[in-house]
Structure formats: C-alpha cells, structure tokens
Chains A and B, each alone.
Chain A
Amino acid sequence: MEDLHLASIVVSTIRNAPVLMFAAMAGLFAERSGVVDIGLEGKILASAFVSAAVAYTFQNPWYGIAAGIGVSVALAMIQAFVSITQKGNQLVCGIAINIAMSGLTFVVAQFFFQQGGRTPDLGEARLTDVILPGSAALENIPVIGWLYGHVIGGQSVLVYLAFILVPIVHWVLYHSRFGLRLRACGENPHAADAAGVSVERTRYLAMLVAGVLCSFSGAYLAIVQSGFFLRDMSAGAGYLALTALVFGNWRPLYTVLGCLMFGLFGAVQIQLEGVDLPVVGRIPGSLIQMIPYVVTVVVLAGLMAKSVAPKALGKPFVKSR
C-alpha cells in the first residue's frame, strides 16, 4: 500500500479537474438556459486540436488558446443555430458535432503533420507552470513547502483560471441580471418571454459563453496536460462533465465538487495501475480505465444524489401567439 502516495494524488486531482471544470461550467450555462449540450465532447476535441496545432505552428501557447476559443465558439454557434433558430433536435445535433469532430480533427491533423492524427510535441510552446516567489526558500519545510510550491503554486495559469471562474460563474448565475434571465429561460421560457426577455437572444448568449468556457477545456488538455494533440484524446471528458452537472444538480459549486470527484478517480486510477493491492491483487489496466464510466452510470442512476434538471431543458422555445 505504500505505493499509493496521498501527496501525488492530491496534486494530480487538481491537475485532472480543470478539463472537466471548464466543460462543466460551459454545460452549466448552456443547460441552465434550456439547451442540452451533448456536444461538449466535440468542442473539447476541436479546441484541443486547434490550440495544439496553432501553438505549435507559432510556438506560442497564447495564440493556441485564442484559436481554440474561435473554433469552440464557432461550433457552439452551429449548435445554437440548430437548437434555437431551427428548433431542431438538440441531442442529435450534439452527437453529430461529436462524431464529425472525431473524424475531422484526425483528417486535418494528418494533413498538416502526417503523424497518424497527432500533432508534434509542443515543447517550448507548452504553457509553463507558475512558480510562486519564495517557493525555493520554503521547499524544505515539510507540508507547508509542498502546499505552497506544488498545490497552491506550481500550476499552470489555466488551473488558476478554472478555480477563479467558479465564484465568478456562481455570481453571474445567481446575482446578475443576465443570470436571472438565463435561469428563467431554462425553467419557464414563456414566463421570461412575457416579462420581455428575448429567449432566443439569451440562449444565444449562453451558448456563446459555453463556447468560450469549453475551449479552455480543450486547450488545457492539449497544451498543458499532454503537450500534444492525440486522436480522440478527450476520451469522454465531455460526457463526464455532463454527469458532474447532473451530480451537482446544475449548481456551480456542487458541479465543481463532482468534477473534483472525477479528477480524484483519475488520480487514483493512475496510482492503482501495476500495484499489488491486498485481497484483490493486481487490477488490470483495462478494468481500472472503466472506473469513471461506471461511476457515471451510478451517479446517473440517482444512487448518489437526486437531481432535478432545468424544466425547459432540451425543449425548443416556440413563441406563443
């Protein structure tokens, strides 16, 4: 059991969570406004590829992040057009985006880099970790040195952004005029409409925010966590983020807890690989990979939390005459 290091589990939980946190907060905006966002997965994948490709080409991670925002917002706008203007099936649209992006990212990556749908290693173009001042001085003090240098400090800017966004998202959703309108559109669009709120405009805005937030998830995956783009590298993160949303009852703080929980499972999963456990022995890697998906089903089955979705979720708004 001494192979299971608590310290490295804590650190890698913090590093795993942002992928899900950005995506879950994106989904929060979309779904609280009444648009189902199954397409998170495709947006993560597309922005991961574009950020990695642009960051590599210009050897600058910031250009990569900017380009990632662009492509994720473009996809979100397609989704918004289909779901809001066309009043089409939002689930089908999301799945379509996920499948299309799974194919297109490979094709384009192959076209530009010819490495089997992978981008070259980003090397210097990777986003570096922030080293807080005084980390070196505190390094030798037990606990505090580790906490200051490797938990609070020593993370990438995007990790800080993910955690700073949580109170901001909470404030926007519950204390701003936009947030009130957004929630009204998700719960009772006809009432919102009667009160003079443009349901279509609010939902478009929500999708715009979702597009921006979701792009960070892909950028983080490619230019912080991995340092390259790999085919289908999102591996279900978009769906896990949606599940965190269900787990968190579509409320920001609880949703983030859900993301941290999945991050923790990911961290434990890496630790468990190739380790002899008491009683069960060595668990094969393929079974360990299954854990987050099984947990998702358990969460969705309502065995861990009872949740209530926004009432108008997934229903196109037709103005009554």
Chain B
Amino acid sequence: MKTTELPRWATGFVLPILNLLSALLVAALVIHLLGESPVESMQILINSAIVNPEGLAYTLFYASTFIFTGLAVSVAMQAGLFNIGAEGQMYVGGLGITLAMLAFDAGLPAWLLIPAGMLGAALFGGLWAFLPGYLQAKRGSHVVVTTIMFNFIAASLMNFVIVKYMIPEGEQNPASRVFSEAAALPPLNAWFPVLGDTPLNISFLLAIAALVIYGVMMTRSEWGYKLKATGLNPHAAHYAGVRISRTIIVTMVISGALAGLAAVNSVLGSTHYLSLNFPAGAGFVGIAIALMGRQHPVGIFLSSVLFGALIQGGFDLSLEKPNIPQETFIFIQGLIILFCGAMENFYGPAVLKLINLTKRN
C-alpha cells in the first residue's frame, strides 16, 4: 500500500540530517571558492572542537549558552511566536546579573550570590520580552519586527548604561568592574582535571536540567498543552477555553527569561564582568538551534553541541586559515536556518517516493 505521509523516523531524523548536510555542502562550496580545502578545514575543525579534550570543554561551554538561547526560541516557537529577540534579552539579562552582583557580591556567600544573579538574569530578560509579547497579544504588532527592534534598542541602551555608569573610575575599557570570587560559577575541571584550564562550569548541568524541565513541561503539563494548542491553532485553542493573549504574554516572558539565563554562563562563568556586546550573536544561534533541533529537547541539545563545535573549531580554523574568518560561521548559521527551517520539507517528496518504491518490492 502506498504511504502518503512520512513516518516519524523520516521527519524527525532523516529530513533534518539531509537538510543539515545540504547546508554544510553549500558552506563547503563557499570554502572551496575562498581557495581553501573543505576537507582539511573539516579536519581542523573536528580536531580542535571534539578530539582535543580542552577543545571539547570549550565546545560544551559554548553549548551551555546555546542550549538556553535555543530553549528560549523553542518555547516561543511552540506557541507560534517567532522570537528573534533572544540576543537583546540575553544582553539585558546580563545587566540583571551585573546589578545583582554590584549590590551583593561583597557580602553574600556563593550559594546565595549565584541564585541571585540567575534571578536577576531571568527577571531582566523576561521583562525585555514582556513588551513585545504584550504588543503582540493586545495590539497585534508582529512579534518578529518588535523583537528585532528591541535588539537594536538593547544594544544602544546597554552601550549607554555600560559607558556611562559601569566603567570603574580610572578605567578606559567599556566594561563593569570585576565581580568578587564568590560570584564565579564552579568550573567542572575541579572534578575532571582532563578538561584543563577551561571555563566549562556547572551551567552546563543547569542547561541539561533546563532541557529536562522543558521536555516534561511540553509533553506532560497542562500549561505545555495549552501553549502548543495556541501555536497550532489559536482559534481552536480559544474556543476550547485557552486565554490566548495571556498565553502569548506568559510564553514571551518565559522565553525572555531563558534567554536572560543564557547570560549566566557568559558573565558568571567566564568573563566575571559585564562587557560590551558579550552575547556575540548567541541569541541568533538560538534561532538556528530551535529550527534544527525541531524544538525537541534532544534535538536542541545535539544542535547546541554542533554549534558549540562550530564556534570553537571555527576560532582555531580562522587562526590557521585567514581566508575563513569567524564570520563564515554566521553565514553557515544562516544556511542552516534556511535549509532546516524554511525548506524543511525540501526532501520530503523524494524520501516519500523512496519509501513507496521499497514497499512495492
């Protein structure tokens, strides 16, 4: 019998892999045109990001940030909202952490200080997403454009706040003062010395916990059900008694809070101070991760590790091959969004045909 719908293993596994390979193939072509060997570049990348244990630690360090931004975009996407603003929400989240640190880091012990920082991050990130959510729910202003605008506004605002209020006296560098020792997230190399002197820290474990909570909430809770119903068909959900505007606003706030939490790893896990443009595009990587991982916790994890590896390996690659700067990976990110997001069913008909062919024989 002929199948007209693709089985789950095909939509959940085969298609994403084919899409990812297409994106990487285009990237390889561009690298070839830049006069470098794609195969050799791939080897450098894998060696630096996965084989070398210190490199792997960096890969997982970046992945911890990306899991949070990926979750932020995914939660919103499940409710049918395309949150492009994770970048700005993470940036403002960093301000929340910094304010908490500047206020308390002299007195509080680490076990109180770090939760205070996380609270500040989630609060500020969530607040930054509240207005776009509110405007979408109550005024019908499209969340895509408002969140993009909020990214620009966040960039200007943070520039203003950091330069005007944060720079310690006598310093020139546009950054806040360094926080006290107690504010540093415990690094994982205390337990695994093989990781070497890397910033990989407990926020990796926090990220895994967040993935689990997200998975449970989405599949097992009433709230997750309402959220997904809103995303799939707001009219039907409304008819079934879901309060649409409330769901939209709450989802955006949670999404923003998750994006804000992504700042914890960068600010408290690595730099220990607030600096200009510290998110460095992690919010946009979150979009690619959510689309590639199909908003599934396992998918988000795997895509985050892949992007962590691309960033870490890409850094070493740019040192060895000046023709492949770090920005190449912004391009690859765009390609992945294009193939895994916009053209997700590109190979659908072909795979379906193939399945039907094998069935007939």
- List the interface of chain A (C-beta within 8 A of B): 38, 78, 82, 86, 88-93, 95-104, 106-107, 110-111, 117, 236, 239, 242-243, 246, 284, 286-287, 289-290, 293-294, 296-297, 300-302
Whole-angstrom distance between the Cβ of B79 and the nearest chain A Cβ: 15
Asked if B198 CB lies within 8 Å of chain A CBs, one says: no
> Contact at B145–A239, with CB atoms within 8 Å?
yes
With both beta carbons as reference points, the residue of chain B lying nearest to A114 in the complex is identified as B322
Give A286 to B158 CA distance when docked, in angstroms.
9
CB contacts (< 8 Å) of B135 on chain A: these are 297, 300-301
Most buried by A among B329, B337, B345, B346: B337
Task: Given A242-B145, A289-B156, A290-B153, answer yes or no on A95-B331 (Cβ-Cβ < 8 Å).
Answer: no
Which stretch, B102-110, B159-167, B225-233, touches the partner chain A? B159-167
> Contact at A96–B335, with CB atoms within 8 Å?
yes
Asked if B150 CB lies within 8 Å of chain A CBs, one says: yes
> Contact at B334–A103, with CB atoms within 8 Å?
yes
CB contacts (< 8 Å) of A302 on chain B: these are 139-141
| Residue in B82, B141, B325, B335 whose CB lies within 8 Å of A100 | B335
Give A82 to B343 CA distance when docked, in angstroms.
6
With both beta carbons as reference points, the residue of chain A lying nearest to B158 in the complex is identified as A286
Could you give 24 example pairs across A and B, Cβ below 8 Å? A86-B345, A86-B346, A91-B82, A91-B144, A92-B337, A103-B327, A103-B329, A103-B330, A103-B331, A103-B332, A104-B334, A236-B148, A239-B145, A284-B163, A286-B156, A286-B160, A287-B156, A289-B156, A290-B156, A296-B145, A297-B135, A297-B146, A297-B153, A301-B135
Give A5 to B238 CA distance when docked, in angstroms.
54
- List the interface of chain B (C-beta within 8 A of A): 30, 34, 82, 84, 131, 135, 139-142, 144-146, 148-150, 152-153, 156-157, 159-160, 163-164, 284, 287-288, 291, 323-325, 327-335, 337-338, 341-346
> Contact at A293–B338, with CB atoms within 8 Å?
no
CB contacts (< 8 Å) of A95 on chain B: these are 82, 84, 144, 287, 337
> Contact at A93–B334, with CB atoms within 8 Å?
no
> Contact at A88–B139, with CB atoms within 8 Å?
no
> Contact at A96–B145, with CB atoms within 8 Å?
no
CB contacts (< 8 Å) of A243 on chain B: these are 145
Task: Given A107-B327, A236-B148, A284-B160, answer yes or no on A89-B139 (Cβ-Cβ < 8 Å).
Answer: no
Whole-angstrom distance between the Cβ of A262 and the nearest chain B Cβ: 12
CB contacts (< 8 Å) of A289 on chain B: these are 156
Task: Given A106-B325, A293-B153, A301-B139, answer yes or no on A88-B342 (Cβ-Cβ < 8 Å).
Answer: yes
Give A243 to B146 CA distance when docked, in angstroms.
10
CB contacts (< 8 Å) of B332 on chain A: these are 103
Give A257 to B281 CA distance when docked, in angstroms.
34
CB contacts (< 8 Å) of A96 on chain B: these are 334-335, 337-338, 341-342
Give A227 to B82 CA distance when docked, in angstroms.
36
Give A290 to B151 CA distance when docked, in angstroms.
10
CB contacts (< 8 Å) of A98 on chain B: these are 334
Give the tally of cross-chain contacts (CB within 8 A).
143
Give A82 to B344 CA distance when docked, in angstroms.
10
With both beta carbons as reference points, the residue of chain B lying nearest to A295 in the complex is identified as B149
With both beta carbons as reference points, the residue of chain B lying nearest to A104 in the complex is identified as B331
CB contacts (< 8 Å) of B152 on chain A: these are 236, 290, 293
Whole-angstrom distance between the Cβ of A111 and the nearest chain B Cβ: 6
Apart from A242-B145, A300-B139, what 11 extra A-B contacts exist at CB < 8 Å? A92-B291, A96-B335, A97-B338, A103-B330, A103-B332, A106-B327, A110-B323, A110-B327, A294-B153, A296-B149, A302-B140
Across chains A and B, which 9 residue pairs bring their CB atoms closest together, nearest first?
A: A100-B334, A103-B330, A103-B331, A93-B342, A96-B338, A99-B334, A96-B337, A300-B141, A92-B341
Give A91 to B345 CA distance when docked, in angstroms.
16
Most buried by B among A97, A110, A236, A293: A293
| Residue in A88, A89, A107 whose CB lies within 8 Å of B34 | A107
Give A102 to B150 CA distance when docked, in angstroms.
19
> Contact at A100–B338, with CB atoms within 8 Å?
yes
> Contact at A286–B342, with CB atoms within 8 Å?
no
Task: Given A99-B334, A100-B334, A106-B327, answer yes or no on A86-B156 (Cβ-Cβ < 8 Å).
Answer: no
CB contacts (< 8 Å) of B327 on chain A: these are 102-103, 106-107, 110, 117
Give A236 to B160 CA distance when docked, in angstroms.
19
Give A239 to B152 CA distance when docked, in angstroms.
11
Task: Given A100-B331, A242-B145, answer yes or no on A107-B325 (Cβ-Cβ < 8 Å).
Answer: yes
Whole-angstrom distance between the Cβ of B174 and the nearest chain A Cβ: 11
Give A102 to B328 CA distance when docked, in angstroms.
10
